[in-house]
Amino acid sequence: MKISIFGTGYVGLVTGACLADVGHDVICADVNQAKIDGLKQGIIPIYEPGLENVVKTNVSQGNLRFTTNAEEAVNHAEVIYIAVGTPPDEDGSADLQYVMAVGKTIAQLMQSYKVVVNKSTVPVGTADKVTAVIQQTLAERGFAAEFDVVSNPEFLKEGAAVADFMRPDRIVIGTSSKFAEDIMREVYAPFNRNHEKIIVMDVRSSELTKYAANCMLATKISFMNEMANIAERVGADIENVRKGIGSDPRIGYHFIYAGCGYGGSCFPKDVQALAQTARQFGYVPEILDAVEAVNYRQKHKLFEMICKHYGVWDKAEKGETKDILKGKTFALWGLAFKPNTDDMREAPSRVLMEQLWEAGAKVQAYDPEAMEETQRIYGQSEDLRLCGTKEEALKGASALVVCTEWKTFKTIDYKQISQSLEDKLLIDGRNLYRKKSANEHNISYYGIGVN
Ligand code: UDX
């Protein structure tokens, strides 16, 4: 089938590459000329395991092409995906200007029937808005053409996006048009061979499904972080509690890891956006607000632990943080918001680094993938040294803080830590290590929800 994708960001690129990989004839369009030029040469602007290979293979086979020419993309396909960004507005609601602009472009250029597929994560009601803008633009053109707007949310995890796309748990299609449904079934037929994964529903339920999935996952994390904070106070260990409750299949072992908060491009944005939608519809979203509030607090927790250890929490609590950690240098392991990505969006490490700098401390950091991205965000600074290895980050540091659970951090040489760190302090934001082992090496250890 001939398919076009507008937007070569994370979602658009993975979608385009994977649809090409199963044999569709795909054009990816973007307004960013430099990005398109790079993609034509196989330069992938994001780090995503397996993606480069899929892009290069399909480009060389001729079934994946890149363009900045919207007309070429619109005329190429009957199925056109909108996969452009929906950044949060000031009030947390999703900014739809890019989605609407693509809808308008499609309507200005289309010569025949199109299925317009909303792949971007968009608030409930967006498909109706896209329908309206296409109708209005067609009317302005004085051109009559049929079209359907379908909601088809993605459930891709960064770091596993290609695998998730190729072997989806489910494929949600929101449409009330049987014609569009059949076309979408054909698009996804290669992914639907072994058992039925396609769930067809009305457009608004499909739009809400995406938010409900992410908000449920974010809720599990904030819930566990709340349990961890209670565990600390009552003398329990959240890691035991996690195993104890995860064994109940109704709860399950996934997404119940306490830590220094969730980040990324989805959870924070989607929780806020759904809360905002709820408010717009006159409903006060108590749970969503709490999920967000707990996460905000959790991201500030590492700094609190550090301040408490150094006996300066009294000041920090009153907001008198300036220079309270002057002279200290913190080794940071892990900058990305989670392992297997270079994505720093909403990463807990950023909140910590910014607080440490405000407190007059220096940071020397190591991350297997996110160093360039960190450099891009923070530039050159005396207070941030990016180190080539995790060992180098320890040299001359006062303490070590772990923000991301990369595999390489899972083994730790306590002897080396003890010898390298001036203050022999280990703050474990992902509960990778055992307090007992650290203490045996004279290291002060603090984890999340452990005693
Ligand atoms: C998420 C959803 O998982 C995916 O289905 C959706 O399409 C997009 O949003 P992603 O943002 O890639 O994917 O990250 P995910 O792996 O879900 O992790 C999100 C954050 O939660 C990370 O910061 C991670 O460290 C944190 N997390 C996850 C926890 O703190 N505890 C857990 O138990 C699981």
Which of 254, 279, 294 delimits the end of a domain?
294
Q: 183, 201, 219 — which closes off a domain?
A: 201
Examine the domain organization and report whether 7 and 141 are in the same domain: yes
Q: Is the minimum distance from the CB of 425 to ligand 1 under 6 angstroms?
A: no
- 93, part of any domain: yes
> Residue 304 is which amino acid?
E
Report the C-alpha gap between 189 and 88 in whole angstroms. 34
CA atoms within 13 A on the CB side of 380: 0
Amino acid, single-letter form, for residue 367: D
Measured from the CA of 161, which atom of ligand 1 is nearest? 12
Q: Is the CB of 4 under 6 A from ligand 1?
A: no
Kindly list the distances between the CA atom of residue 235 and the CA atoms of 40, 228, 440, 447, 449, in Å, as whole numbers in the listed order. Answer: 57, 10, 20, 13, 9
Same domain for 127 and 8: yes
State the DSSP code for 160. S
pLDDT tens-place values along the chain, 451 residues long: 999 999 999 999 999 999 999 999 999 999 999 999 999 998 999 888 999 999 999 999 999 999 999 999 999 999 999 999 988 788 877 899 999 999 999 999 999 999 999 999 899 999 999 999 999 999 999 999 999 999 999 999 988 999 999 999 999 999 999 999 999 999 999 999 889 999 999 999 999 999 999 999 999 999 999 999 999 999 999 999 999 999 999 999 999 999 999 999 899 999 999 999 999 999 999 999 999 999 999 999 999 999 999 999 999 999 999 999 999 999 999 999 999 999 999 999 999 999 999 999 999 999 999 999 999 999 989 999 999 999 999 999 999 999 999 999 999 999 999 999 999 999 999 999 999 999 999 999 999 999 9
Residue 239: which of 256, 252, 254 has the closest Cα? Answer: 256
Of 67, 76, 75, 68, the closest CA to residue 24 belongs to: 76
Is 183 found in the same domain as 82? yes
pLDDT at 90: 82
Task: Note down the domain range covering 409.
Answer: 300-446
User: Cα–Cα distance between 417 and 49 in angstroms, integer?
Assistant: 31
Tell me how far the alpha carbon of residue 273 lies from the centroid of ligand 1, in angstroms: 17
Q: CA 181 from chain center: how many Å?
A: 29
Residue from 86, 444, 446, 449 nearest 276 by CA: 86
Residues in the chain: 451
Residues 224 and 245 in one domain: yes
Whether residue 149 lies inside any domain: the answer is yes
Instruction: For residue 115, give the H/E element and its range.
Output: strand 114-118
Residues contacting 20, CB < 8 A, separation 6+: 26, 54, 58, 63, 64
Ligand 1 center–CA 16 separation, angstroms: 23
Domain shared by 135 and 232, yes or no: no
Amino acid letter, 191: F
27 within some domain: yes
Q: Which residue has the tokens 């196989």?
A: 42
Residue pointed to by tokens 């996804």:
188
Q: Which of 122, 157, 172, 215 to mutate to test the pocket of ligand 1 (most atoms within 8 A of CB)?
A: 157
Dist. CA 445–CA 451, nearest whole Å? 9
The CATH number assigned to the domain holding 243 equals: 1.10.1040.10
Q: How close is the Cα of 131 to the center of ligand 1, in Å?
A: 32
Counting runs of H as helices and runs of E as strands, what totals does the chain give?
A: 19, 14
Could you tell me the distance, in angstroms and rounded to a whole number, from the CA of residue 374 to the centre of ligand 1? 20
Nearest CA to ligand 1 atom 7: 155
> Tokens at residue 333, please?
């392991």
Residue 51 Cβ < 6 Å to ligand 1: no
Counting the structural domains of the chain, the total is 3
Domain annotation covers residue 451: no
The letter for the amino acid at 385 is R
Same domain, 290 and 405: no
Q: Give the separation between CA 74 and CA 111, rounded to whole angstroms.
A: 9
Q: How far is the CA of 262 from the centre of ligand 1 (A)?
A: 7
Token code pair at residue 400:
């070590």
- Location of structure tokens 């900045």: 68
Ligand 1 lined by 223 (C-beta under 6 Å): no
Q: How far is Cα 13 from Cα 11, in angstroms, rounded to an integer?
A: 6
Question: CB neighbours of 362 closer than 8 A, spacing ≥ 6?
Answer: 328, 329, 330, 356, 382, 383, 384, 385
271 and 220 in a single domain? The answer is yes
**Final residue in a domain of this structure, among 201, 220, 237:** 201
pTM of the model: 0.92
Catalytic residue, from 18, 28, 260, 266: name it: 266
Is the same domain home to 140 and 43?
yes
* Contacting residues for 12 by C-beta, under 8 A, at least 6 apart: 5, 6, 28, 30, 81, 83, 84, 119
d(CA 265, CA 342): 12
Q: Is 266 a catalytic residue?
A: yes
pLDDT of 379 reads 92
Ligand 1 pocket, mutate which of 51, 119, 158, 448 (most atoms under 8 A from CB): 158
* Residue 206 located in a structural domain: no
Please tell me the predicted confidence (pLDDT) of residue 94.
81
Q: Tell me, yes or no, whether 289 and 309 share the same domain.
A: no
| Same domain as 354, residue 242 | no
What's phi and psi for 398, nearest 5 deg?
Answer: -85, -35
Do 192 and 60 sit in the same domain of this protein?
Answer: yes
CB atoms within 10 A of CB 72: 14
CATH number at residue 194: 3.40.50.720
Q: What pLDDT is attached to residue 372?
A: 95
**Ligand 1 in contact with 214 (CB < 6 A)?**
yes
225 lies in the same domain as 183: no
Q: Residue 240 has what pLDDT?
A: 97
412, part of any domain? yes
